[in-house]
Amino acid sequence: MKVPFIDLKLHHQPLREQLDAAIAEVVDSSAFAGGPFVAKFEQEFAAFCGAPFAIGVGNGTDALWLSLLALGIGPGDEVITVPSTFMATAEAISFCGARPVFADIEDRTYTLDPAQLEKAITPRTKAIIPVHLFGQMADMKAILAIASRHGIPVVEDACQAHGARQDGHAAGTLGATGCFSFYPGKNLGAFGEAGAVVTSSPELKQRLEVLRDHGQSRKYFHSDIGWNGRMDGIQAAVLRVKLPHLKAANDRRRAHARLYHELLADASATTPLETAHNHHVYHVYAVRIGERDHILESLTRAGIGCGIHYPVPIHLQPAYRSLGYGLGSFPVAERCAAGFLSLPMFPELTTDQIRMVVDELKTCLAGHQPHACVA
């Protein structure tokens, strides 16, 4: 039995008729770019998050970038984020002309360490982007307390955290804006590229609506230099079919995570920690192990689909060499990157498949025991 890393076909099978009908409705009405399907999805996604507004955009990168632009971030500004994230978080900062400044992550939650954040703030800091990595929210209480003391807005990168909560607050609803990606493999995924920003600010909502549509305040009247950052009607229609099933799908991910924790309790692997205040939605189930690359190779040979999120922290990427960071700049992020191994995680995973993954992982760990250490 092979175990895939993710199986989107299986996920879509039971919804196939509804999805086909939803796409046909968009085709029949020719509402392809923006339009009524996007407007309906925006209302429904805002309600799901418990936010007053959602603004549909082209993808998660647009959501982050347009949020920063709407907040007035530009050349000369610094924006603090973590090096343990997908490249898009930093790219969004760079594409405003601002400078990404990194702060290290916490060793057990893999999210922004508030103590490191505090140290990274300078008079040029104009925004903070905590990343809710793998589906668990960063320590928003501590981050917001620091941010408000310094009068700096917070943009949540919730691209991996649809439906995650902290102390009852949904991911994306605590910052000035919350940014989501609906890339197909996400907990809520489109049939292509899509994203959204949620906010409680009517001013930011209006700014974002203008910026995502070529800076138009009305047709062919451009108050700003914006961008083509609209959401497609077909993606909105697909997302409207899938959204009502998101909570159940997240609950299944959580049940799978519980079983992984239980079965891996006696293995020399560090399993994810869900903190007391958090409701983790396990977009990724990443363990930390020694000899990671060898074990990944063995698991792949055994037919277990695994991933690494992410092998190189952003401050060590060649693209960001000019920022002047080096090996040792962010020891926690670097240690995590060397040990992270993402195991199969998707709602339709079966108990048997999880047992097989764990058996195989334990066999591999035992085989590499002489050098193995918990990363």
The contact set with ligand PLP (CB under 6 A) reads: 59-61, 85-86, 88-89, 131, 157, 159-160, 181, 183, 195
Exposure string of 32-53, with b = 16+ CB inside 10 Å and e = fewer, is eebbebbeebbebbbebbebeb
Residue placing its CB nearer to ligand PLP in the complex, 139 or 360? 139
**Least gap, CB of 93 to ligand PLP (angstroms):** 12
Residue placing its CB nearer to ligand PLP in the complex, 235 or 298? 235
**Least gap, CB of 56 to ligand PLP (angstroms):** 12
Residue placing its CB nearer to ligand PLP in the complex, 61 or 173? 61
Q: Helices 36-49 & 16-29, crossing angle to 10 degrees?
A: 140
**Least gap, CB of 245 to ligand PLP (angstroms):** 20
**Least gap, CB of 89 to ligand PLP (angstroms):** 5
User: How is residue 257 written in tokens?
Assistant: 């995570």
Residue placing its CB nearer to ligand PLP in the complex, 290 or 344? 344
**Least gap, CB of 87 to ligand PLP (angstroms):** 8
**Least gap, CB of 29 to ligand PLP (angstroms):** 25
Q: Which residues are paired to 165 by β-bridges?
A: 170, 279
Amino acid at site 116 = Q
Residue placing its CB nearer to ligand PLP in the complex, 134 or 298? 134
**Least gap, CB of 194 to ligand PLP (angstroms):** 7
C-alpha 356, offset from chain centre:
27
Question: Residue with the closest Cβ to ligand PLP?
Answer: 60
DSSP characters for 124-181? TEEEE--B-GGG----HHHHHHHHHHHT--BEEE-TT-TT-EETTEETTSSSSEEEEE
Residue placing its CB nearer to ligand PLP in the complex, 250 or 353? 250
Residue placing its CB nearer to ligand PLP in the complex, 35 or 185? 185
Pairing between β-strand 125-128 and β-strand 165-166 as defined by DSSP bridges? unpaired
C-alpha 219, offset from chain centre:
33
Q: Which residues are paired to 170 by β-bridges?
A: 165
Residue with tokens 């000369």: 76
